[in-house]
């Protein structure tokens, strides 16, 4: 991967960060069809690199150990066909943000405290890659109550398109299910819905599961912003 050897002042490191960020945004937004095609799950581990000349590249990680710079998320191609395309791009965007920050502060190793603070403020003034990618989603895909914890009475759509509310609320009280969940079956054990058990819904495949079947307790669910079942993980 190309190293910005002269990037040592705050302004130079920020310029390097901005160029790499622009490259990643180009891959995930403007060249997205090309990027999607290059991330073939049948290939070996692949990474998305953004270079200081604002070009991007999908390639295996550097072979040097340790690498010249921090490496991007490894194996982004493996999840491509197992997720909704927009969700997959959002996931790559989040990991790209993490990588961009790690590269910037790796280059900033010799800066003093005030310089590092200044660099962070400059970076923080820009929208993240994740925010940029999410803003280009349809309204229905933007973060909403549906993206919250499944233990908080979230509304969710079943496979037949009918709205279903979460079988259990956050404080441990079960909602009046009536006939609403009568046909819901656990995606793990195929057991029918029961109002006296905790259930959690997968945000990717939209199947429901007994909490005990996927080893998720109500307390643990409180800290899950977006739940993925074992199959979708």
pLDDT of residue 167 exceeding 80:
no
- Kindly state the tokens that stand for 198: 């905790």
Report how far residue 216's alpha carbon sits from residue 209's, in angstroms, rounded to the nearest whole number.
Answer: 9
* pLDDT band, very low/low/confident/very high, at 62 (cuts 50, 70, 90): confident
Out of 3.30.40.10, 1.10.10.10, 3.40.50.300, 3.40.50.620, the CATH code matching 143-233 is: 3.30.40.10
Q: What integer is the mean pLDDT of 87-114?
A: 95
Secondary structure of 129-143 as H, E, C letters: HHHHHHHCCCHHHCC
Which pTM value belongs to this model?
0.57
Report how far residue 98's alpha carbon sits from residue 68's, in angstroms, rounded to the nearest whole number.
Answer: 17
For residue 232, count other CB atoms closer than 10 A to its CB: 17
Q: What integer is the mean pLDDT of 182-203?
A: 81
Q: What integer is the mean pLDDT of 89-100?
A: 96
CA distances from 184 to 76, 153, 166, 179, 210 (A): 33, 16, 11, 10, 11
Report how far residue 213's alpha carbon sits from residue 191's, in angstroms, rounded to the nearest whole number.
Answer: 10
Q: Can you give the pLDDT at residue 198?
A: 86
CA distances from 3 to 13, 69, 129 (A): 11, 7, 21
pLDDT of residue 187 exceeding 60:
yes
Q: What is the rounded (10 degree) CA torsion for 201, 206, 208, 214?
A: -70
Q: Can you give the pLDDT at residue 122?
A: 95
Report how far residue 50's alpha carbon sits from residue 219's, in angstroms, rounded to the nearest whole number.
Answer: 39
Class of residue 129 by CB neighbours under 10 A (exposed 0-12, middle 13-18, buried 19+): buried
Query: Residue 187: which region, alpha, beta or left (left: phi > 0; alpha: psi -120 to 50)?
Result: alpha
Q: What is the rounded (10 degree) CA torsion for 200, 202, 205, 206?
A: 50
Are 103 and 129 a contacting pair, CB within 8 Å? no
Query: For the chain, what is the mean pLDDT?
Result: 80
Q: How is the chain split into domains, by residue range?
A: 10-141, 143-233
């Amino acid at each position: 991967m190309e190293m910005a050897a002269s990037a040592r002042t705050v302004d130079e490191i920020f310029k390097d960060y901005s160029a790499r960020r622009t490259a990643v945004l180009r891959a995930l937004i403007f060249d997205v069809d090309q990027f999607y095609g290059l991330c073939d799950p049948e290939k070996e581990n692949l990474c998305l690199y953004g270079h200081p000349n604002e070009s991007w590249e999908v390639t295996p990680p550097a072979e040097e150990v340790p690498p010249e710079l921090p490496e991007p998320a490894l194996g982004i191609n493996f999840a491509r066909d197992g997720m909704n395309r927009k969700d997959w791009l959002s996931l790559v965007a989040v990991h790209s943000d993490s990588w961009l920050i790690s590269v910037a502060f790796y280059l900033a190793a010799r800066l003093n405290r005030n310089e590092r603070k200044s660099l962070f403020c400059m970076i923080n003034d820009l929208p993240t890659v994740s925010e940029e990618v999410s803003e280009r989603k349809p309204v229905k895909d933007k973060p909403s109550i549906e993206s919250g914890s499944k233990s908080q009475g979230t509304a969710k759509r079943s496979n037949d398109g009918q709205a279903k509310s979460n079988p259990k609320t956050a404080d441990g009280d079960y909602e009046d299910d009536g006939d609403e969940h009568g046909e819901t079956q656990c995606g793990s054990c195929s057991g029918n819905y029961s109002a006296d058990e905790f259930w959690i819904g997968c945000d990717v495949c939209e199947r429901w599961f007994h909490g005990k079947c996927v080893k998720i307790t109500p307390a643990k669910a409180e800290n899950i912003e977006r739940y993925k079942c074992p199959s979708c993980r």
